[in-house]
Chains A and B, each alone.
Chain A
Amino acid sequence: MATAIYRPDSIPGPEVARLAPSPKSLAGLRIAVLDNGKPNAGVVMTRVAETLAARVGAMVTLVTKKGPRGESANAAIPCAPDVFERVLAEADLVLTGAADCGSCTAYSVVDAIALEKAGVPAVVVTTTKFKPIAETLSEQFGLKETRLLVLPHPIGGTDRETLCQWADAGVERVIAVVTQVR
């Protein structure tokens, strides 16, 4: 005999966010790298930023860790407020990551959504292995469309030459997620 039971989940209640307006052109844009201190995060994201800048005529204006004063970083908490303000003031496009673990993916997505809400497009640099987590968390945090650059896995422990190849190969994807009309 069929019986009524309660569902064990409840509705999710995130504040729904929207992407910042996409720039029509990337030429002249100021690019920032927001580094969460994960091994090689700065290496691979800086390479993406520099290759992108050369390709579209933009410039890399800021490379910083996300902890207070940009001196250090902890990947498992949000970007420090002073660094967040500086990024907002000095950049038109932000690369943030690396989202290649669980809590660092969560907080890379949190930082990206905060930047998008503040009007600055942000791309979360993640890896193939953490793409499902990044997508799930983006939806759970209220911005399913969070811009992702998915690189091969792992970023930590991979040599610089390989990382640069991955970064260069990812630039077209960054251009696509930043400029696409939604």
Chain B
Amino acid sequence: MNRYEPESLELSELSPEAMYELFEKHAWGDGLPLVPPTRERVDAMLAFATGDPDEVLTTLLPRAGIVTRRVVAINAVLAGCPPVVFPVVLSAIRALAKPEVNLRGVNATTHLVAPMVIVHGEIVARAGFNAGVGAFGPGNRANATVGRAVRLILLHVAGARPGFGDAATHGQPAKYTYCAAENLPECPWEGYAASRGVHAPSAITVHCGEGPHNVHDAEADGDPALILDKIASSMATLGMNNAPISHGEFFIALGPEHAQSLAMRGLTRTDISSYLYERARIPAGVFRRHFEELAWAQWMKTARDEDRLPMTAHPDNIRVFVAGGPGKHSLVIPSWGMTKSATVAVEG
């Protein structure tokens, strides 16, 4: 099938109550109020994309639901997206469909994994994304609705309905919405997307992992390396899936103040990854005692029990970007494990 035209149905009246009634009947929605996807609203969304609205772009697992620009637009309307962010939602969905993301596993697992969307480049300012104070928090329409639109597409199109296509034991708040912008103006290094070889005016990264874990270092000692020791300590824990799965990534969201302090000491993004790779370690014997199966890189299997092994097989799996506002905080965002992040250009 090369083209697909979504079906319509009848909403009894244009009210939140009528939307709730209709969507609950079909077991759709995320539980929050939804904007009715009328033809006019969906067309307004599609005006920000190019190409055939009904062209089949991909399918999303586990349900193998068909993705077209219009299907994405319908869900973006439901989520409350301003049309200007539509290409960001579309690009995030394209990234999630990449095989290395392993969306079938991401959606089906009992783990609480949620796809985080990081927005890079000129669209951050143009569409009003928040990269500063409270970037991962409430109060900004672009951040809130892009993350929510992604979730609604996973629910409706990918079939990630709790208890059926989504077996998450607990779920987590980030499964409602999980989107923040990179704080490029306060990043002392090149932007994250460019560091991954994506040289586009705007880009997005998707990383399927846990919610952010806070790292507070007030820099009282005056030694910025201590910031990294705290981050390493937060990474080296046995409970996260990075522990038994060595190809998983960590995303580290440095607050701008921590980033500046590290850069002033001459540390590059690569230095930071290397340092964390060296410091976030646990003895091989401890890993072996806690896990019946270890999905380790081949070289790690040769370690003696007393050898201290890294939390991930390669420093490049530790990904650093800058986000947030003033304050002495950074974030560790672990992975689900059997997934890889993807960075793609924003395209309509």
Contacts and interface: CB of A to CB of B under 8 A. Distances in A.
Contacts of B306: none
Contacts of A77: 102, 105, 338
B66 A105 contact: no
A10 B65 contact: yes
Contacts of A37: 292-293
Interface string A1-16: 1111111111111100
Is chain A's interface secondary structure helix, strand, loop, or mixed overall? loop
A133 B293 contact: no
B165 A72 contact: no
A125 interface: no
B165 A10 contact: no
B179 interface: no
Interface string B2-30: 00101111111110000000000010100
B159 A140 contact: yes
Contacts of B6: 6-7, 10
Interface stretch (B33-41, B134-142, B218-226, B318-326): B33-41
A9 B157 CA distance: 5
Is chain B's interface secondary structure helix, strand, loop, or mixed overall? loop
Interface stretch (B107-115, B185-193, B258-266): B107-115
Interface of B: 1, 4, 6-14, 26, 28, 36-39, 42, 59, 61-68, 70-71, 74-75, 78, 102, 104-106, 108-111, 152, 156-157, 159, 163-168, 245, 292-295, 337-338
A165 interface: no
B67 A10 contact: yes
28 contacts: A1-B14, A2-B12, A3-B10, A4-B38, A6-B38, A6-B74, A7-B6, A7-B7, A8-B74, A10-B6, A10-B68, A10-B157, A12-B63, A12-B65, A12-B66, A12-B159, A13-B64, A74-B293, A76-B105, A101-B167, A102-B167, A103-B167, A105-B108, A132-B164, A133-B164, A133-B167, A140-B165, A141-B62
